Amino acid sequence: MGGVAQIAGSLAATRGSGPGAGDGPGGPGSGTGRGETFARILGRIEAAKRYPEEARRLGHRGTVAVRFRIGPDGAVAAAEVAATSGSSLLDAASLETVRRAAPLPQTPGWLLVRISYGLTEARP
């Protein structure tokens, strides 16, 4: 089998109105139903992940932190790499993964997710 991509850690809310503003955790699960909403968002992102074939072939692996905001229509209104994996291929794939996961449940503020890419040695 080829590469495996996994979400590392959990989704965290951040406060503020733009990139870099108020990066403190908002506490997933801190409100009624909020934990369920985060779980749904993580599930959609997990289902949307694709390990780029070129990155797998080149042996690229790592974790990308993506910060994003969801618009009223459930589309990703803004997304940025908050922490690079060191591979532009994985960074770009992670941004695309978050966008492909839409529509997402409306959640106020910025969210942060870490997406990990690792290689498996299982080959036929």
Output the six-digit token pair for 22. 């108020």
What is residue 34's predicted lDDT score, i.e. its pLDDT?
81
What is residue 62's predicted lDDT score, i.e. its pLDDT?
95
Sequence spans of domains, the chain: 3-16+28-116
Could you report how far apart the first and last alpha carbons of the chain are, in Å?
Answer: 8
The full length of the chain comes to: 124
Measure the CA angle with vertex 36, ends 31 and 37; round to 5°.
85
CATH class of 3-16+28-116: alpha beta
Instruction: Please count the other Cβ atoms lying within 10 Å of the Cβ belonging to residue 86.
Output: 12
User: Cα-atom radius of gyration of the chain, to the nearest Å?
Assistant: 15
The three-state secondary structure class of 120 is coil
Residue 56 sits at φ, ψ, to 5 deg, of: -60, -45
What is the pLDDT tens value at each position of the chain, 124 positions in all?
333 344 444 445 443 334 333 333 344 444 447 889 999 999 999 999 999 999 999 999 999 999 999 999 999 999 999 999 999 999 999 999 999 999 999 999 999 999 999 976 433 4
Cα separation, 12 vs 34, whole angstroms = 11
What is residue 120's predicted lDDT score, i.e. its pLDDT?
66
pTM, to two decimals:
0.74
What is residue 33's predicted lDDT score, i.e. its pLDDT?
76
